[in-house]
Amino acid sequence: MDDLAILDLAVAAPIAPSAAPIVATPEAVIRVRDLVVGFGDKRILNGLDIDIYRGEVLGFVGGSGTGKSVLTRTILGLIRKRSGKIETFGADADGMSDLQRRASERRWGVMFQQGALFSGLTVKQNIQVPMREYLRLSQRLMDELAQLKIEIVGLKPDAADKYPSELSGGMIKRAALARALALDPELVFLDEPTSGLDPIGAADFDELIATLQKTLGLTVFMVTHDLDSLYSICDRVAALADGKVIAEGPIETLARADHPWLKAYFQGKRARQLQPPRRAGLP
């Protein structure tokens, strides 16, 4: 066959359709399936499913007493589940050895509501508690690292030697966040981080979280009632009701949902006017 015939065949041959674009599946650092948690005869979580994706800020909302903090504490292993499956960083929590669990715990940090600082320890000593539990470091190095965390969260250097009773509410929040960051975690759990703060302080704290998430590459799971926080810094929102996640996705999707609780929360008297989500610190 001559070259011209080959060229004619090539032109006549049908062109194969281009392959569909490959959409990357987000990596779930926490995956919860069919989770049941209860106390006595009362079920708090009843068949709950949720994923926390790497690199996102996930806001978790729900009515008071619905089990938002219970979910966090169950993932952390502080509350025992009745049934269901929890995977952390791709590993089944039930199948972990003690060594594997400790290694997993080193990869997350926790900021509890009201800070939960040890009242008899200074800020510096509070930050060093996780270091003493999981690391073997000299006192000099722990002092340097604690001072670095203090600066990262926007506290003045002299806060290091103050006790919690000497701190304002906003300073307590920042000190608790510094302790949550003590081990350079990949994932941070925040339980009502802006509760008790005035609007200016809450906005400043939102901006701090957004900045740290971006610069440190954190994944953030944030339990909150604060609508401004949801609009300002959350990539995705999940809502809890009746023991399950009833909706999840971008905030504008949840704000237009028909579920009675979602309508009351996002469209009620105290709800802000719907607007596109905006990351703190961005125009």
pLDDT tens readout for residues 136-160: 999 999 999 999 999 999 999 999 9
| Helix or strand (DSSP H, E) at 35 | strand 28-39
Q: How far apart are CA 126 and CA 136, in angstroms?
A: 16
Tokens encoding 192 = 């009502």
User: Could you tell me which residues are beta bridge partners of residue 222?
Assistant: 59, 190
Query: In angstroms, rounded to a whole number, what is the distance separating the alpha carbons of residues 141 and 119?
Result: 23
Neighbours of 45 (CB within 10 A): 27
Compute the distance between CA of residue 231 and CA of residue 240 in angstroms, rounded to an integer: 18
Write the pLDDT tens digit of every residue in 28-63: 999 999 999 999 889 999 999 999 999 999 999 988
Would you say 91 and 100 are in contact if contact means Cβ atoms under 8 Å apart? yes
Numbers of helices and strands, H then E, in the chain: 10, 10
pTM for this prediction: 0.84
Instruction: For residues 9-24, give the mean pLDDT.
Output: 52
Q: How far apart are CA 254 and CA 49, in angstroms?
A: 17
Closest listed residue to residue 59, CA positions, set 178, 224, 201, 193: 224
Question: What percent of the chain stands above pLDDT 90?
Answer: 58
3-state SS, residue 71? helix
Q: Is 72 helix (H, G, I), strand (E, B) or coil?
A: helix
d(CA 163, CA 165): 5
Q: For residues 257 and 103, is the Cβ–Cβ distance under 8 A?
A: no
Token pair recorded at residue 163:
């006790």
> Tokens 């269901």, residue?
84
Report the C-alpha dihedral over residues 240, 106, 131, 81, rounded to 10 degrees.
50
Cα dist from 77 to 21, 99, 279, whole Å: 40, 14, 31
49: its two tokens: 């499913």
Distance CA 188, CA 126 (A): 17
Which pLDDT does position 260 carry in this prediction? 86
Average pLDDT over residues 83-93: 93
3-class SS shares of the chain: helix, strand, coil, % to 5: 40, 25, 35
Strand ranges for 54-157 from DSSP E: 57-62, 83-88, 91-92, 108-111
Q: Is residue 13 over pLDDT 60?
A: no
pLDDT tens-digit map of 232-282: 899 999 999 989 999 999 988 888 888 888 888 887 765 654 454 455 444
